[in-house]
Structure 1
Amino acid sequence: MRKFNTILFICLFIILNGNIALAQQQRQQIPKKNIEKFSLSAFTRTANSRDSLEVLIYMRIPNFTLQFVKIDTNFIARYEAVIALQTKKGKQIGREVWQDSIIVNDYNITNSAVRNKTLMISFAIPSGKYKVVASLMDLDTKNSGENTIKLNLSDYNKNHYLHVPILLDKAKGDWGFGKDLIPVVQNNTFNIDDGLTFYLSGKVLPDKYTFNTQFLNKTGKILFEKTITDTSKTGIFEHIVNLPKEHIEGIGIKVKTELVQGAYSVEKTKDIVIRKLGISHLISNFDEALQQMRYILNSKERAEIKKVQSKKREELFKKLWKRRDPTPDTVVNELMNEYYKRVAYANIHFDSFIDGWQTDRGMIYIIFGPPDDIEHTVLSQIQNTTEIWYYYRIQESFTFIDRDGFGNYQLVTPFLGYRR
């Protein structure tokens, strides 16, 4: 087992350094160009009228998506960005165009994924179905990319409506939620020094209503709860609810909001991930993340997981990965990031009756990474589908058979390097 773990570590580390061929799956799914990797987010709220809602759209352009040109002592990237709101059928409701540049004086900052330019626009719209279309063009290279978001707001024509909670973070400027407050994209945040701040809004009948907010951990335990009883004269409401820092535990929190007025009630939820330095952003539950490590754990480490108390699982998780950190002097654990990228890929592409990472194909993918080639064979007479994965770099191949036609591929020969 120790020899196998050593071989596995070497395989993973080689892959991290890019010394692998492109896999068949990667060829089938064309990777995004950098210019396409800007983020696009849309948030809705009721702020001014019961008859319409406001959609706030944010476009974040990381530095690495653009080509910087050195001019004198600075590096400059010029771009054109467009955000448009359309009906479901494509009729344009509004459009904004920006032509601007990003100027930095350090070459390393030009490749930053953290440094970004944020653009924002808002529209007042009635209920209906919409789509947000955003495009970005590098004015020097002429490369361009486009992203789209679909919005289904058909239910807004009812008497009551509750929007999904919006997590706010600090950022200098006016972003539509008060001074220096901006919505958090991708529902994850590093900043918990002042707790977590949520914006909540919706519409009711002009009368008394009750609004309840619960914050739960991954096991369903209520960490904090707040109930607001108020009367709305205009039929709309806005509230700010804070989750104090001392009530935050773990890295995954569920926010559950419930609006009650008379016999009517509606509930909305949102999952939040608390990002921590040195922990892969793909991890939202330490219990699950520990279970997903089983392909690289020895028997002693598996026994540790079974015995560890719930409160100490984060500590154990960090300890196990510290042993496997190829660059222990840095904050980022490249091996951890690569491993959980594979887990995430397996869950998307190989899920069957169980999570993708638990399947035979998921196991092989997580251990060895993407294959260099895949051969498909369909035996129509017995309705079996066979996949053969070739790993030329380690002179190995694995054969999977789907015997029932439901995508439940199983290894023909059990893989001896790991025993379930």
Structure 2
Amino acid sequence: MKSNRWFFLINLMVVFGAISVLGQPNNKDAEIGLPKFTFIGITSPLPDRENIQVDLQISLSYNEVQFLRTDGAYQGEYEVGITFKDKDDTKIAGRIVKRVLKTENYDKTRDENVIDIITEPFNLPAKDLKVIIRVTDLDTRKTSYQDDSRDYSDYYSKSSVLGDVGIIKTESSTADSAGTHTVFWGNQLPEPLDTLHFQAYLLGEIGPYEVQYRLLKDETPVYYFSTKIESALPVDSLLQLKMATTNMSFGNYALELSVRDGSGTTVASRAKFRVHWQGVSGNVQNMTTAIQQLRYIASDKQLNKMLKAKSDKQRKLFMDFWHAKDPTPATTENELMDEYYRRVRFADEHFSGVREGWQTDMGAIYILFGPPDEIERRPFEIDSKPYEVWYYFEINQQFVFIDFTGFGEYRLSEPFNFQRNWEYHP
């Protein structure tokens, strides 16, 4: 860990929105039943300008671990293997960490919101690196892997270096109570925060240093602030910042931090994240749009009531709608909601054109019934317009789509009543 470093603390409490501004990893865990986990890596510069510090944070939900009842409690064990390699596939660092989880509450063992977090620091050469992370359940022996790569060869090419921006979740005590470590949010926040705390390491040779940061929502700047480190001396500093975010809402954000040193060199770092309300499908990007996308399974009365409601009430109505359809209401996951919006995303990715994919006839049928069992395509008929036939054998349905205009937007050949009691068709 870093020691004897100058910590430059900037506490900036500014009301979010008060200033008007003008103008991670490959997941090989595809098999059902393997322990799913997430990880982030926060990179920081070191004074020797030859090495870097990478703080790996690995998160695993309790419900991904097999628990056994032992001596009146429930115990689960898993192991994490971390390997760093260079571009020649030579191992340059590694570590194995074993975790033992204990609880007397059975419900906790099945709760995806109870998270175990491992934080491991590594000092590594600044070169082309690849990290491979293995997680093994020590009872079932099931194993999953993730990896990521990043080239640090030019990391110290400028007079100043700015490490990765980390959005701080908590300061947590270590297992042996010997100190604390910082726990960072990944790219998902479960709800809007009243205050956004973040930090990054700055290594600079020539001052003074102008520090600027801004918050963007859907790539539109919504907040901007700047300050200055007056020292003309070299710095090896932890910049810690915070902003009040009382107006933060559901959506996609980016936090950008930049520093301009005394030589005119500018370095920058960016962290992207999404405010994702707990209990809402991860495929939902915008609450208003998500409500509009319910038009195939909700009545006009339900839609109008949700769309006209204010933010908190709107979310409650949305959640109540899906709770009534939840096939497993005793769990935190709503499989029906997840599947519905997964299909919406697929429709947008594959059927968009003049209209968004979910608004097209093909998108609507896909959302309601899922992928067809068979597709008959007739794109080059001499005596008729191009058409497709989708067959759903299990429900004895077929749908004919015709490209009436010749521009690739296929419409249903016959009207279909979308207002129906939708059920999940896997």
Distance in 2 separating the partners of 1:345 and 1:398: 18
Amino acid at match of 2:294: M
Question: 2:172 is matched with which residue?
Answer: 172
Q: What secondary structure sits across from 1:44 in the alignment?
A: strand
**Normalised TM-score (structure 1):** 0.74
Matched, 1:234 2:243: no
8 Å Cα contact 2:47/2:203 also seen in 1? no
With over 3 angstroms needed to count, the CA separation of the structure-2 counterparts of 1:172 and 1:324, relative to structure 1, is closer
Q: What secondary structure sits across from 1:112 in the alignment?
A: coil
Distance in 2 separating the partners of 1:223 and 1:399: 49
Question: 1:35 is matched with which residue?
Answer: 34
Distance in 1 separating the partners of 2:99 and 2:136: 11
Distance in 1 separating the partners of 2:86 and 2:347: 35
8 Å Cα contact 1:213/1:227 also seen in 2? no
Q: What secondary structure sits across from 1:50 in the alignment?
A: coil
Question: 2:114 is matched with which residue?
Answer: 115
Q: What secondary structure sits across from 1:199 in the alignment?
A: strand
Q: 1:113-162: CA deviations, max 9, x gaps?
A: 22233222222234332221111222332222211122233441321443
Q: What secondary structure sits across from 2:343 in the alignment?
A: helix
Amino acid at match of 1:280: S
Amino acid at match of 1:206: I
8 Å Cα contact 1:202/1:238 also seen in 2? yes
With over 3 angstroms needed to count, the CA separation of the structure-2 counterparts of 1:314 and 1:357, relative to structure 1, is farther
After the TM superposition, which residues 357-376 of structure 1 pair with which residues of structure 2 at under 5 Å, given as runs? 357-368=358-369, 370-371=370-371, 373-375=373-375
Amino acid at match of 2:345: A
With over 3 angstroms needed to count, the CA separation of the structure-2 counterparts of 1:233 and 1:401, relative to structure 1, is farther
After the TM superposition, which residues 67-106 of structure 1 pair with which residues of structure 2 at under 5 Å, given as runs? 67-106=66-105
Amino acid at match of 2:132: V
Q: What secondary structure sits across from 1:41 in the alignment?
A: strand
8 Å Cα contact 1:211/1:259 also seen in 2? yes
Question: 1:128 is matched with which residue?
Answer: 127
Distance in 1 separating the partners of 2:126 and 2:361: 46
8 Å Cα contact 2:402/2:413 also seen in 1? no
Q: What is the deviation of 1:209?
A: 1.9
Question: 2:275 is matched with which residue?
Answer: 274
Structure 2: segments with no counterpart, 5+ residues: 1-27, 420-426
Distance in 2 separating the partners of 1:232 and 1:251: 40
With over 3 angstroms needed to count, the CA separation of the structure-2 counterparts of 1:205 and 1:144, relative to structure 1, is same
Question: 1:24 is matched with which residue?
Answer: none
- How many residues align? The count is 382
Question: 2:188 is matched with which residue?
Answer: 187
Q: What is the deviation of 1:223?
A: 4.0
With over 3 angstroms needed to count, the CA separation of the structure-2 counterparts of 1:412 and 1:222, relative to structure 1, is closer
| Percent of aligned pairs with the same amino acid | 21
Distance in 1 separating the partners of 2:71 and 2:151: 49
**Normalised TM-score (structure 2):** 0.73
With over 3 angstroms needed to count, the CA separation of the structure-2 counterparts of 1:322 and 1:103, relative to structure 1, is closer
Question: 1:322 is matched with which residue?
Answer: 320
Q: What is the deviation of 1:322?
A: 3.2
After the TM superposition, which residues 48-67 of structure 1 pair with which residues of structure 2 at under 5 Å, given as runs? 48-67=47-66
8 Å Cα contact 1:218/1:285 also seen in 2? no
Matched, 1:246 2:242: no
Question: 2:345 is matched with which residue?
Answer: 344
Q: 1:298-320: CA deviations, max 9, x gaps?
A: 556666788x59xx456445435
With over 3 angstroms needed to count, the CA separation of the structure-2 counterparts of 1:126 and 1:414, relative to structure 1, is farther
Matched, 1:264 2:265: yes
Indicate the structure with greater helix content. 1
Structure 1: segments with no counterpart, 5+ residues: 1-28
Q: What is the deviation of 1:168?
A: 0.7
User: RMSD of the TM alignment (CA)?
Assistant: 4.1
Distance in 2 separating the partners of 1:355 and 1:130: 40
Question: 1:288 is matched with which residue?
Answer: 289
Distance in 1 separating the partners of 2:253 and 2:199: 16
Distance in 2 separating the partners of 1:389 and 1:61: 40
Q: What secondary structure sits across from 1:156 in the alignment?
A: coil
With over 3 angstroms needed to count, the CA separation of the structure-2 counterparts of 1:332 and 1:94, relative to structure 1, is closer
Question: 1:21 is matched with which residue?
Answer: none
8 Å Cα contact 1:216/1:224 also seen in 2? no
8 Å Cα contact 1:47/1:237 also seen in 2? no
Q: 1:314-365: CA deviations, max 9, x gaps?
A: 6445435534541699896835444323323444565667654345443322
Distance in 2 separating the partners of 1:100 and 1:316: 41
